[in-house]
Amino acid sequence: MLGLTAASAAVLAGCAKDAPQDTWQPKGENAQKIHDLQWPVFLVAGIVGVIVMVAVGYAVVRFRDKGQPMPEQSHGKPALEIALTILPALILVGVGIPTVSTIFDLADTSDTECIVNVTGQQWWWEYDYPAQEGCGGISDPIVTSGQLVIPANTNVLLRLTSRDVIHSFWIPALNGKKDTVPGRVHTLRMQANQPGIYAGQCTEFCGLSHANMKMEAVALNPDDFQTWVANQLESYVAPEAGSQAALGEAAFTANCAYCHQVNGLSSTAPDGTVTPVLANPDQFVVSGSAPNLTHLMTRNTFAGATWDLLTDECRDRVWNASPEEFGALYLQGVTAECLNAVDLREWIRNAPAKKPMYASDAQKANSGGKVRGMPALGLNETQIDQIIAYLLERN
Ligand SMILES: [Cu+2]
């Protein structure tokens, strides 16, 4: 009885309207195909399950030991045995045909309209958009992280891989999950019927902060998507000389830019030569990479989509927007009024205190001189103020 109550509570909780990762609420064609398959399969399995349970219950009660003599031993009933072999075989074929055909449908890549490369690493997702005619046209590559931005009503093909261990990419409202494996490229279709944010999380245990490795797919209508692309490709605007942000630029160049790329950032030597500042995360980080921060404030979560860049109030406005209003709100990015400075400051102050990166001191010592995730940098509060002012302009 207790088990039944717990099971039905779990089922009901799964059906709750505000469960953003509910596989029973598909929001795109691919997830719909899975849904159309899973409910009849569950139904058939449920009916068979009930019949078997009732038959077992009946046999247990009816033929329990009441001190009666041993029943006469027989050598089977061929008719019944043949029937009980054919019936399950028919059920399996009945379930198998639509299953195999759905698997083939979901593996199709011939109708791709847009390509995004997805790379998992401990413990965040990087998305890079190759230059392409697809996606409505992208003239130069774009690199971002955490939030996968896609045009709605478009067949997007994700090419998934990993830089360290096996992770698994899953946005339940849009498709099933697919493992990301180092050295391999797996493909996964993505299509969203409506603009909005669709939550997901890494679904292959990948180390200490596995639970802090989330992701979000953000679907924009195709016009808004073009605006997003144009924003990502906007060239670098240096902070106004003498401003807080300008001090932040210097602090960023000294403390952050050897891991994090900001496209267009350059440094000027005393003799006036200008050189681009290029990140070398492969020399410092175990996974060999760190998020590109060129347009950090166009996304609204950070560090594996685990913390919000927006205050609760501003976040709710974006997440709860109607599909018509959503794009304009998302494209506003993070403004000074909406910045969740608390979590961002904590992150810059001491990232490993926020997101556990080492299971033990021994693991830390054995990381080959490189850091796992983002290290604590020991900056003072003034430097953090300046860096935040600088980052706020990365929109
Ligand atoms: Cu992972």
% of the chain beyond a pLDDT of 90 = 84
225-229: long-range contacts, CB 8 A cutoff, minimum separation 24: 225/135, 225/136, 225/149, 225/150, 225/151, 225/152, 226/136, 226/137, 227/331, 228/149, 228/298, 228/331, 229/129, 229/135, 229/136, 229/137, 229/138, 229/142
Residue 206 Cα to ligand 1 midpoint, Å, equals: 5
Q: What is the pLDDT of residues 239-282, one digit of tens each?
A: 999 999 999 999 999 999 999 999 999 998 899 999 999 999 99
Which of 72-76, 125-129, 223-227 has the lowest average pLDDT? 72-76
Distance from residue 344's CA to the centre of ligand 1 (Å): 22
Please state which CATH number belongs to domain 244-392: 1.10.760
Q: What's the rounded Cα separation, in Å, for the pair 174 and 20? A: 11
**Overall pTM > 0.85:** yes
Q: Which of 259-273, 306-320, 363-377 has the lowest mean pLDDT?
A: 363-377
Q: What are phi and psi of 109, to 5 degrees?
A: -120, 5
Q: How far is the CA of 24 from the centre of ligand 1 (A)?
A: 23
Mean per-residue pLDDT, 367-380: 89
Q: How far is the CA of 305 from the centre of ligand 1 (A)?
A: 12
User: Cα(289) to centroid of ligand 1, in Å?
Assistant: 15
| 39-56 pLDDT, tens digit each | 999 999 999 999 999 999
What was the pLDDT predicted at 15? 58
Centre of ligand 1 from the C-alpha of residue 177, in Å: 12
Residue 304 CA, ligand 1 centroid: distance in Å: 9
Question: Stretch 48-68: mean pLDDT, rounded?
Answer: 93
Q: How far is the CA of 105 from the centre of ligand 1 (A)?
A: 26
User: What rounded mean pLDDT belongs to the chain?
Assistant: 93
Q: What is the reported pLDDT for 7? A: 66
Q: From the CA of 123, how far away is ligand 1's center (Å)?
A: 6
Q: How far is the CA of 292 from the centre of ligand 1 (A)?
A: 19
Domain ranges of the chain: 244-392
Reported as a single tens digit per residue, the pLDDT across 227-242 is 999 999 999 999 999 9
* Nearest one of 161, 158, 178, 150 to 120, comparing CA atoms: 161
